[in-house]
Chain A
Amino acid sequence: MIRSAFASTAITVGFCLFVLLVVLVPVALLYPEPGEVLSRFLLGPFEKTRYMGNIVELATPSMLTALAVVLMFRCGAFNLGVEGSFFLGGLTTAAMVLWMPLPPLVGIPLALLAGAIVGSLVCGIPGIVKATTGASELVSSLMLNYAAVFIGLFVLNYYLRDPTAAMLSSDRFPAEYRFESLIPRTRIHIGSIVAVVACIIGAIYLNRTSQGLEVRISGTGNDFSRHLGLNSVALNIRIQVIGGMIAAFAGGIEMLGLYSRFTWQNTTGNGWTGVIVAIIARDNPILIIPAALFIGYLQVGGDLVSRAFGVPTEIVSLIQALVMICVTSVAIFQHPALRKFVQGNRGEAAQ
């Protein structure tokens, strides 16, 4: 079991690198100095403290959205509402900060909590609708992502808008509400620590608590949990609400950590990144941490070659799409020759 988990991880890492090169090398060849493009993308992110800081900043929200996705997937809910939850969470947190002039020590937790509660609707409603009517949580969560953005824009336009700003955005947050940078020359903030801790707590919850066991049993299909007499419907709803809260909380953290005013005009993509990170992590909360850092690294690399050579950042999305398919590919992961190659002879002996 342990050995096969190791093999899966090793194959995942191998394929991430493989896909990275398969996309990157041809793109690089289109430019006059392909070697420069490659080294900028692959090594650039480690050149400066600031870039490495960027990796962590980018990984922070996706760690939390990925954790939300992992919890919901492990419970058997194919809910993709994290994108909308993240958006509404950020918006609500921003609104609370602007509307509730409380001391930061009270105000920040309160704003984040409010964001988490409001944002949780996008994941929670599909869960409730599924439980009460049987309508697929997949389709309704996709629909609510769009609805969340438009409702959010309505609030922004009618209640939060700063009329003096050139673009559609809210008033500035009071400075004392914004998270301080923890490491000089980066914007790494307390949220990164929160995200890592959340992933560890998530792992403990799933693997070491009675309720976590029930979540995992629920996730294998309804028959077994019904056989045992577990109330998997209630558990399912609860996990989707919690998932929505985590994703929305991530939106709030992102807002207070990196922004001085609310400026999102559309979903941010952090939810989808969370889905990809969750899949690369193979639904394992601990592996979310390296997976999110890897995706963050890709994004920083893409950003660097974009600024230096004008390579569009969308190539990073292409890499992500391909990684996603490879990582879920049964044909790759259960390929006997590949597994044997990775596990080696020791693997056979252990069995």
Chain B
Amino acid sequence: MMDLAASLLSPEFFAAILRVSTPIILVAMGVLISERAGVVNIGAEGMMLSGAFCGVVFSAYTGSATVGLIAAIVAGMVGGLFMSFAVHVLRANLFLSGIALNLAASAGTILALFSLTGEKGISGTLDSEVLPSVHIPWVQDLPVLGTILSGHHILTYVAFLSVPAVAIFMMRTPTGLRMRAVGENPEAAKATGLSVIRLQLQAFLLCGVFAGAGGAFLSMGYVSWFSQNMTAGRGFIALAAEVMGAGGAYGTLAASLLLGSVDVLAIALAGEGLPSELLQAAPYVVTVLALALYGLRQAKQKTIGTVH
């Protein structure tokens, strides 16, 4: 048990939290933008999966990790186009369109993987690239902090930098303001001359950018291959993180880190001989508990906040 305590306090443990939280943060930022624009995107999971797949395939065929990343982002944006087409043109139900996108992405990636490699499970035969890690000068030489902060995958830094960027984008730029207006009261926004559909399309596309990048992190960093349904509900966890963050970028970051640390803790405890299946279930159970606690707090605040 002493070993466990030591490993939980080690710099490597904190570094692992940053690593594991990266995809959740990225996707949660995308979900945040779409949610504030009034289109909760259940399809983020599918966008992420397509991103993971296209990153591997395009980097394998071009030999360039950058092309892979771009392809992943484009794949996410295609998912955004799909959502917008379903919701705005066909006027299908938002949630069901998201579920359909997830279903299509799951089947589509397997189908494409099979037609490219003859395998359905894993992209082992594809010689794909990974995105680089970054060692920060000066910081990497610091004791403890160096291990925690330096040497991460480039998208980990991108994820953390994207949080203030998204905060500024939503709160301070014209487009962010318009998206919030559309999300809060589409009728009023329309009467003001804003194009609800265009803004929501943009939100879907931005969500796709983040979800695609999140997917690329999984298949081009976290591991170096694609396997079927490898996102394992991270898109949904990001959805939960956004709810817990109450639609704010920094709150969402905090929630993502919390859910990420549960994951890392589960991995650490599995090393101690606890049943790995139960530990794998833990992050999902914790997410439900966190959502419930958050809901309770909201309800309470509403009561307290309204007393004379």
**A and B directly contacting (CB within 8 A):** yes
Interface residues, chain A, CB within 8 Å of chain B? 78, 80, 125-126, 129, 132-136, 138-140, 142-147, 149-151, 153-154, 157-158, 272, 275, 279, 312, 314-318, 320-322, 324-326, 328-332
Which residues of A lie under 8 Å from residue B285 when comparing CB positions? 143-144, 147
Q: Which of A272, A325, A326 has the most CB of B within 10 A?
A: A325
CB nearest to B103 among chain A residues = A321
Contact between chains at A154 and B281 (CB < 8 Å)? yes
Which residues of A lie under 8 Å from residue B277 when comparing CB positions? 150-151, 153-154, 157
Contact between chains at B284 and A331 (CB < 8 Å)? no
Segment of B83-91, B130-138, B141-149, B218-226 engaged in the interface with chain A: B83-91
Interface residues, chain B, CB within 8 Å of chain A? 42, 86, 89-93, 95-97, 99-101, 103-104, 106-108, 110-111, 114-115, 120, 232-233, 236-237, 239-240, 243, 275, 277-278, 280-281, 284-285, 287-288, 291-296, 298-299
Interface pairs A-B: 9 shortest CB-CB: A133-B295, A317-B107, A150-B281, A154-B277, A329-B90, A135-B295, A321-B104, A314-B107, A330-B91
With the chains together, A158 CA to B298 CA distance in Å?
40
Across the interface, A136 reaches (CB within 8 A) one of B93, B107, B108, B243, namely B243
Q: List 7 A-B contacts (CB under 8 A).
A: A135-B295, A136-B291, A146-B281, A153-B277, A157-B275, A321-B104, A325-B92
Contact between chains at A325 and B108 (CB < 8 Å)? no
With contact pairs A136-B243, A150-B281, A154-B277 given, residues A325 and B291 touching in the complex (Cβ less than 8 Å): no
CB distance from B304 to the nearest CB of A (A): 15
Which residues of B lie under 8 Å from residue A125 when comparing CB positions? 288
CB nearest to A326 among chain B residues = B90
With the chains together, A208 CA to B100 CA distance in Å?
33
Which residues of A lie under 8 Å from residue B107 when comparing CB positions? 314-318, 321
Which residues of B lie under 8 Å from residue A147 when comparing CB positions? 281, 284-285, 288
Contact between chains at A312 and B120 (CB < 8 Å)? yes
With the chains together, A329 CA to B86 CA distance in Å?
8
Contact between chains at B111 and A318 (CB < 8 Å)? yes
With contact pairs A78-B95, A143-B237, A330-B92 given, residues A325 and B100 touching in the complex (Cβ less than 8 Å): yes
CB distance from B224 to the nearest CB of A (A): 23
Contact between chains at A325 and B97 (CB < 8 Å)? yes
Contact between chains at A154 and B275 (CB < 8 Å)? yes
With contact pairs A321-B104, A330-B92, A331-B90 given, residues A133 and B243 touching in the complex (Cβ less than 8 Å): no
Across the interface, A138 reaches (CB within 8 A) one of B95, B97, B295, namely B95
Which residues of B lie under 8 Å from residue A324 when comparing CB positions? 96, 99-100, 103
With the chains together, A149 CA to B104 CA distance in Å?
22
CB distance from B251 to the nearest CB of A (A): 16
Which residues of A lie under 8 Å from residue B106 when comparing CB positions? 317
15 further A-B pairs in the complex, CB-CB below 8 A; given A129-B295, A312-B115: A132-B296, A133-B295, A135-B292, A142-B233, A144-B284, A147-B284, A150-B280, A154-B278, A272-B99, A312-B114, A322-B104, A329-B91, A329-B92, A331-B91, A332-B90
